[in-house]
Structure 1
Amino acid sequence: MELQQMRYVVAVAETSNFTRAAEQCRVVQSALSHQIARLERELGAKLFERTSRRVRLTPAGEAFLPAARQALDAADRARAEVAAAAGEIRGRLAIGAIPTVVAVDLPAALKEFHLRHRQVRISLRSGASEDLIERVQQGGLDIAFLGLPPGVRPKGVRGRELARGELVAVVAPGHPLADDDRVELHRLADESFVDFPAGTAGRVQSDEAFAAAGVRREVAFEISTPDFMARLIRQGLGIGMLPAAFVSAFPDLHVVRLSDAPARIEHVIWSRFQPSPAATAFLAALDISPADSSTPPSNGGG
């Protein structure tokens, strides 16, 4: 069993197509197909079901894929550690971030890191805080930037609090609240809301604040990205709740501050195990040492 064979299997699993997998691996399709068939003979099991329309993993392939990814990650990590010992940072840096992160200028930080460490393969995934925590726990991400309600600590990882802030109401120009600079939450009781999906950290912080104020509200539109939220708010379909430090991204919308505003805390997290050389270097660029964690490691879920 060879690492290259594992790379081919992972590529086919991710693309569901032998031709695209071969292009991704920069090899002719016949060579990729031959190596996977050779691996299947060695394992004594088919890894893929092939039809004229689709390619999908067999139960044996589903069982093989996670271990193959772990083996490839381990090989990459070994190369990166050897390079780091010689003073060179290389390997991968997989980062996750909520769409509303403001405590760090992430695009600028990634650009500076790329210019300094050109041998590092950088990837970025946007998502909800709870999904990002799980991916860091499982090793799919090296570092993630989260936004959580006060009192909620990410578990199963290490991390540090970056910043605290408040949410504000965001309304369309011409909305009756657009002339108010500050209101209490009960003034919003009759409004229709555009908010993040129920159960996500971005939604919980608002739900808890309204519940504490004894205010019931209607969330008519559940949206995962702030840009789409802003488009609905502009049309007067509802009002939104966004971090005060983030709303400058939408200068055409009116901001209404809240006397009893929901609060949120931004965190950066990383694995409770030893971070990779690239992850350690990126944290160092943010003046963070992996040994200095304000989030206790735990085996609990996110």
Structure 2
Amino acid sequence: MATSLLRCFLTVSDTQSFSVAATRLNVTQSTVSHQIARLEEHLGKQLFERTKRSCRITPDGRELIPYAARVLQAVDEMEQNFKPQLLSGTVVIGVPDDYHLFSPITEALRGFMADKPGVAVEMKAGLGANHLRDLRDRNLDLALVREVGGSSGNVLRSERIVWIAGYDWAPPADGVISLAAVDGGCAYRKAAITALEERGMPWRCKFSCTSLQGVLSVVREGLAISVVTVGDASHGVRIVEDQTILPPLPSTTLGIKYADKEPSLAAKALARTMAGALAKL
């Protein structure tokens, strides 16, 4: 059996659409239909119930999913381990702008680039909301995405987000909390505002910056407070743990997400490398 049939099957089961699967796989819809028909004939089972506008996986199709996934993973790992020279091209990855992650990420890249010399890596650091947009637009191949309060992706680790302040900071006399935050759709900023408003605490955004370094510099000077992952709370700031002063914050998860297309072998290999490195933290 050709592994391309299983890859096509998993893509259709994920998208629930022959046309969308064709787009992901960069083939025609008729090719997808032909490959599914070949797989059904080989197995002697109907895998999808088709209509003109949609398709629905059958019980036999659902039972096949874990088997197909294991086969493809084993084949991919075999090819990458025994013929790493076959991997080539550029993998574009998005990562959070969290300083404490760059050391393990760089160490992981050292081994990846040495083992797979034909693969170039382009890294874009920034907000998770921007990475999700770029994944949808196919400007990224994969991304390490932080989500507050849960994740829909492959979770690698969970981490607290915490309030940070300068060493001389004290609660303001007028009760209005001054915030510093990364500009744009920052999930930490939204979590901070939600926590303050649920407690009925007034606030104002005193400072915003496109860089976490800029936010940290303002916090160090005592001009405002902010929220970061606990791993980034060691840059000359202190964690405010007293919940009588500031409300509790939710945790955050870090997971891997792929673009809306079939990942390349190089992208999958890089994802496994990143997952292995971050799991050790």
The TM-score normalised by the length of structure 1 is 0.56
CA contact (8 A) 2:151 2:255 kept: no
Structure 2 Cα separation of the partners of residues 86 and 265 of structure 1: 33
The reply to whether residue 228 of structure 1 matches residue 222 of structure 2 is no
Pairing 1:1-302 to 2, within 5 Å after superposition = 87=84, 88-100=86-98, 105-151=104-150, 153=152, 159-176=153-170, 189-197=175-183, 199-248=185-234, 250=235, 252-259=236-243, 260-286=248-274
CA contact (8 A) 1:205 1:264 kept: no
Superposed CA deviations along residues 141-192 of structure 1, whole A, max 9, x for unmatched, are 1111122221564xxxxx3122222222222222237xxxxxxxx9995331
Which letter does structure 1 place at the counterpart of 2:145? L
Q: Secondary structure at the match of 2:249?
A: coil
Q: Secondary structure at the match of 1:207?
A: helix
Shift of 1:128: 1.3
Structure 2 Cα separation of the partners of residues 192 and 111 of structure 1: 41
Q: Secondary structure at the match of 1:236?
A: coil
- CA RMSD in angstroms, aligned pairs only: 3.0
Higher helix share: 2
Q: 1:140 to 1:175 in 2, by over 3 A?
A: same
Structure 2 Cα separation of the partners of residues 187 and 133 of structure 1: 40
Shift of 1:210: 1.9
Structure 1 Cα separation of the partners of residues 208 and 242 of structure 2: 21
Structure 2 Cα separation of the partners of residues 166 and 108 of structure 1: 23
Structure 2 Cα separation of the partners of residues 223 and 125 of structure 1: 17
Shift of 1:194: 0.7
CA contact (8 A) 2:159 2:253 kept: yes
Superposed CA deviations along residues 96-141 of structure 1, whole A, max 9, x for unmatched, are 1120275782122222211211211111011211110111122211
Q: 1:198 to 1:114 in 2, by over 3 A?
A: closer
Structure 2 residue runs without a partner (length 5+): 1-25, 27-75, 277-281
CA contact (8 A) 2:156 2:275 kept: no
Superposed CA deviations along residues 261-292 of structure 1, whole A, max 9, x for unmatched, are 2332222211243211111111222458xxxx
Q: Secondary structure at the match of 2:231?
A: coil
Structure 2 Cα separation of the partners of residues 256 and 115 of structure 1: 42
Structure 2 Cα separation of the partners of residues 213 and 102 of structure 1: 30
Structure 2 Cα separation of the partners of residues 198 and 287 of structure 1: 27
Q: 1:222 to 1:203 in 2, by over 3 A?
A: same
- Mean alpha-carbon deviation: is it higher for 99-108 or for 235-244? 99-108
Alignment match, 2:49: none
Which letter does structure 2 place at the counterpart of 1:150? G
Q: 1:209 to 1:221 in 2, by over 3 A?
A: same
Q: 1:198 to 1:90 in 2, by over 3 A?
A: closer
Q: Secondary structure at the match of 1:282?
A: helix
Which letter does structure 2 place at the counterpart of 1:284? R
Give the count of matched residue pairs. Answer: 193
Structure 2 Cα separation of the partners of residues 114 and 219 of structure 1: 42
Q: Secondary structure at the match of 1:245?
A: helix
Q: Secondary structure at the match of 1:169?
A: strand
Structure 1 residue runs without a partner (length 5+): 1-73, 75-80, 154-158, 178-185, 289-302
CA contact (8 A) 1:101 1:147 kept: no
